[in-house]
Chain A
């Protein structure tokens, strides 16, 4: 802490100028400038607009996964309700195939192995 008392300290709450530097105008101004004290405050980012929309329904897809997941472990699948549109190991190709089939908002996932461990969070 003794070291801090000999130096200009700029923190979130303000700036501390040690008495030892009083009268050293150029040094004080230079150090404060380097610390960004004279920079205009950053404008607050606008919050994203939040709109109400219908709930996302994946009930039939979830049921399909329960019944068929073991057949497609490690693959990407695109589903429309309980209908399998496309599948494979290349996500881009599976997605494109769903688009080509005319399905606007397919359910899209890679089927991971069944032995899912408890999630540790981050």
Chain B
């Protein structure tokens, strides 16, 4: 059986680089910042470094607390509402900012991003196809 999906955007990334890198704009109030994030379908949430949240003007610990588990342990985050734009699509979502300064990666995960879209990956060619999810 064959399946067909259609996408509106094709994002080309460097398949030789670690991870699939996606340019993102995060906005809150009068702050907007462009950042790079890794697409990570294994992450439940979109998680960013603490400094990214501080750069958006957030008091990180003032919001909803959320522990996140990894194969080697867990870390604490706090969720804040932002406008997230990536790969031609924008949505109002809650993303999480890691409390610890050592946290060194920004990722786009399922809640807040992947669940609102449909994605196709051809990793050998470094191509990420993106479309809006329609129920």
Contacts and interface: CB of A to CB of B under 8 A. Distances in A.
Interface of A: 47-58, 61-62, 76, 91-92, 94-95, 99, 104-110, 112, 116-122
B55 A95 contact: yes
A51 B132 CA distance: 9
A111 to B, nearest CB: 10
B52 A108 contact: yes
A118 B18 contact: yes
A70 B25 CA distance: 25
B62 to A, nearest CB: 14
Given A56-B85, A95-B54, A48 B25 contact: no
A61 B85 CA distance: 18
Interface string B88-114: 111111000000000011010100100
Interface of B: 8-9, 11, 18-19, 23-25, 30-36, 38, 40, 42-44, 49-52, 54-57, 68, 70-71, 85-93, 104-105, 107, 109, 112, 116-117, 132-133, 135
DSSP class of A's interface residues: helix, strand, loop or mixed? loop
Contacts of A120: 71
A91 B89 contact: no
Contacts of A121: 40, 42-43
12 contacts: A47-B116, A50-B132, A51-B91, A55-B87, A56-B87, A91-B51, A91-B54, A106-B34, A108-B33, A110-B51, A118-B18, A122-B107
A108 B88 CA distance: 19
A9 B71 CA distance: 32
A94 B55 contact: yes
B52 to A, nearest CB: 7
